[in-house]
Each structure stands twice: as structure tokens, then as C-alpha cells.
Amino acid sequence: MTNQETIFSKIIRREIPANIVYEDDLALAFKDVNPQAPVHILVIPKKPIAKLADADAQDAALLGHLLLTAKRVAQEAGLKNGYRVVINTDADGGQTVYHLHLHILGGRQMAWPPG
Ligand code: AMP
């Protein structure tokens, strides 16, 4: 699937509401509307990369920035005992919104393997 308009583009442009917890020039973080853990925050790039499989070498710094943003957001959410960062990618990965996003899940013990 190629880059296209998604609900996350509308959140970036403030066309629909979201509970935004962090923003900078490159990234936005907001609470997941259907949380799967006591803390469930999404970190997205403002650049509309549809999925991880579409990222390339030009995106290396941006991808690093998203991970460091996840770390920062998790710290600010008080996840002292740890947390999980997930990127669902394309159909088999269970991706439903085609704008790259990192799930930060925490506040409970995570299970492995995931479903
Ligand atoms: P994925 O299945 O990895 O593509 O994850 C998409 C995530 O976006 C799901 O966890 C949804 O609950 C979440 N989501 C969908 N729409 C919204 C929204 N308007 N605000 C916040 N989170 C959303």
C-alpha cells in the first residue's frame, strides 16, 4: 500500500481530536483510542510513511528519532519497570492504519509470544 491520507494525518493537522502527549518537528505522540494496556501511546512520524517496509536509508535518522521519542514518552508516562514497543507491519503484522506508528505499551506485565 502506498502513502495516502489516513486518520493519523488528520490528527497531525488537528482536524480530529487526539490526546497528544508529545510533539516536535518530526514526530507526534498521542494516546491510543482503544488501549491494550494501562499505558498505550502511539508515536508517529509527521512524514507519511505508510509502513516500516516503505522506509528507506533516507529515513534512518527519522527512525532513530522515533525510537528515542518512544523512550522519552515512556519515561514521561512513568513506566519505570519497562514497557514494550511494537510496530505492526502490513497484513500479516496486523497493521490497520497505514501511517507508520510505534505502539508503546506498559503498566502491566506483557506476555510472550504475542497473539
Ligand atoms: P495498528 O493495528 O498497528 O495499525 O494500530 C492502529 C492503532 O491506532 C490501534 O491501536 C487503534 O486503536 C489506534 N487508533 C485508531 N484510530 C485512532 C484515533 N483516532 N486516535 C487514537 N488511536 C487510534
Q: Is 97 in the pocket of ligand 1 (CB under 6 A)?
A: yes
Testing ligand 1's pocket by substitution, the residue of 6, 7, 88, 99 carrying the most ligand atoms inside 8 A of its CB is 7
> Per-residue pLDDT tens for 70-81?
999 999 999 999
> With bands split at pLDDT 50, 70 and 90, how would you rate the model's confidence at 115?
confident
d(CA 32, CA 17) in angstroms, rounded, equals 12
> With bands split at pLDDT 50, 70 and 90, how would you rate the model's confidence at 3?
low
Measured in Å, residue 58 CA sits from the centre of ligand 1 at: 26
Q: Which range (1-5, 64-68, 91-95) has the least confidence? A: 1-5
Mean pLDDT confidence for 61-65: 98
pLDDT at 100 over 60: yes
Mean pLDDT confidence for 14-23: 98
* Residue 65 annotated among the catalytic residues of the structure: no
> Per-residue pLDDT tens for 27-57?
999 999 999 999 999 999 999 999 999 999 9
Say what the pTM is.
0.97
